[in-house]
Amino acid sequence: MSNQPIKTIFIGTPDFGVPALEKLAADSDFEIVAVITQPDKKVGRKQILTPPPIKVLSKNLGLKIIQPEKIKEIVKEIKDLKPDLIITIAYGQIIPQAILDIPKYGCINVHGSLLPKYRGAACIAAAILNGDEETGITIMKMDASLDTGPILSQTKIKLAPTETAGTLFEKLSKLGADFLLPTIKDYISGKIKPTAQDNSQASYIKEFKKEDGMIDWQKNAIEIERFVRAMNPWPGAYTKITNYKLQITNILKIIKVEQTPIDINKYKAGEIFLYENKLAVQCGQDALIITKLQPEGKREMTSEEFLRGHKEIVNIILK
């Protein structure tokens, strides 16, 4: 490392990058000359203009904040800052080559999977969705394509049996923060050489939209159980009720199901039934016990609470 602090620009938006920015700001080997993040956005039913988490932290740390609509609009402004290094974590836009070429140490990215597996935005949920036993963090030197740059280092983590995208997000966020600065220092010192990804092993998972959370009850119980965890908290796993004798709206969010399927295959796929006085649903193969759910416009509740007010749901077929 140089005797002079490394002039660094940090680029990121959501909570995932907050621990890393905190560690970067506290390390005297780095001087953060600017933080680039997405513009404030309207959030919730009241459409309240809300700053991204990275902006909130940067403001508290007294850092220079830049919020372009498109990052390609501020190439000159970035050049004028003369950064030695750019670090990006979950920014939400592709960084153009004109910016990648500016810092002498390049642009370093923290990605929430073991690349080349799960390139793309929904990389954290993908590991749960596919029943992987482990996932991890990849720190790579960026190029102009999406998550294709050469790898500097990787570290692994085991997935808990009840892991949700939310719990894994928190774990990988902290893991990435702990792993980032030692990796950068070794890279700048010449102890690490970037290694090209094996593109033949690459897979890609797109960003989830709201409609991606709809449950397909024709799938087997193991797949659906993973799906419920992978969609939690966003976009949320949900199903539709087509019988309006129930005093609820037609969307029902499934928050949690028991991990172990039950060996029952005598109902139609999606049919609700009682199993040992518990709310259960038939899948394409085997069935699942629902433990927590949320009717549209209502609060989360246990299935026991829900059944007390909605006994008519038994034998209804979810779509």
Residues 146, 278: Cα–Cα separation, whole Å: 45
Confidence of residue 248 (pLDDT cuts 50, 70, 90): low
Confidence of residue 247 (pLDDT cuts 50, 70, 90): low
Residues 146, 9: Cα–Cα separation, whole Å: 20
Residues 100, 151: Cα–Cα separation, whole Å: 16
Average confidence (pLDDT) over 83-106: 96
Confidence of residue 250 (pLDDT cuts 50, 70, 90): confident
Q: Do domains 6-201 and 210-313 have the same CATH topology?
A: no
The tokens for 20 are 């890393």
Given a cut of 90, is residue 249 above it in pLDDT?
no
pLDDT digits (tens, 9 = 90+) for 97-143: 999 999 999 999 999 999 999 999 999 999 999 999 999 999 999 99
pLDDT digits (tens, 9 = 90+) for 60-72: 999 999 999 999 9
Q: Per-domain residue ranges for the chain?
A: 6-201, 210-313
Q: What is the pLDDT of residue 319?
A: 85
For domain 210-313, is the CATH number 3.50.50.60? Answer: no
pLDDT digits (tens, 9 = 90+) for 300-319: 999 999 999 888 889 999 98
The tokens for 178 are 């702990």
User: What's the CATH number of domain 6-201, 3.40.50.800, 3.90.190.20, 3.40.50.300, 3.40.50.170?
Assistant: 3.40.50.170
Mean per-residue pLDDT over the chain, rounded: 95
Q: What is the pLDDT of residue 296?
A: 84
Comparing 165-179, 218-232, 300-314, the range with the smallest average pLDDT is 300-314
- Is pTM beyond 0.85? Reply is yes
The tokens for 51 are 């700053």
